[in-house]
Structure 1
Amino acid sequence: MKCRVLIVDDNAPVKMLFRELLLKEGVASISEAENGVEGLPHLEARPAKGADTWDL
């Protein structure tokens, strides 16, 4: 699947779970950040065409 995903979460097991699920779905480009401050440079470098926020 040709898409990029940025996972932003301070909970390492949650990031690992999402990474595994996305890899199983064929997502090849996955970046991670601990929080919004760390995640913002990823978005500035490669702006998103779409975004979604899940508050779990």
Structure 2
Amino acid sequence: MTEIRWTQTGDIQELGLVYSEAYRNAYKGIIPDEYLNQVTPKVRQEYFLELLYNGKSV
């Protein structure tokens, strides 16, 4: 059964990994690799933590 709920701090690591992998795969060959290589799980984790705690994009 699928559960839909609000994001929690414990979700951030997995969310960062899934987002970064999906983004790099979706835009490979469209966006330069130099940029795509900067979209790492750690960078995305920091982004999602900022959204979770402050409710705004960084």
Query: Larger strand proportion, structure 1 or 2?
Result: 1
Q: Same fold (TM over 0.5)?
A: no
TM-score by length of 1: 0.37
TM-score by length of 2: 0.37
Query: Larger helix proportion, structure 1 or 2?
Result: 2
- Whichever of the two has the greater Rg, that structure is 2
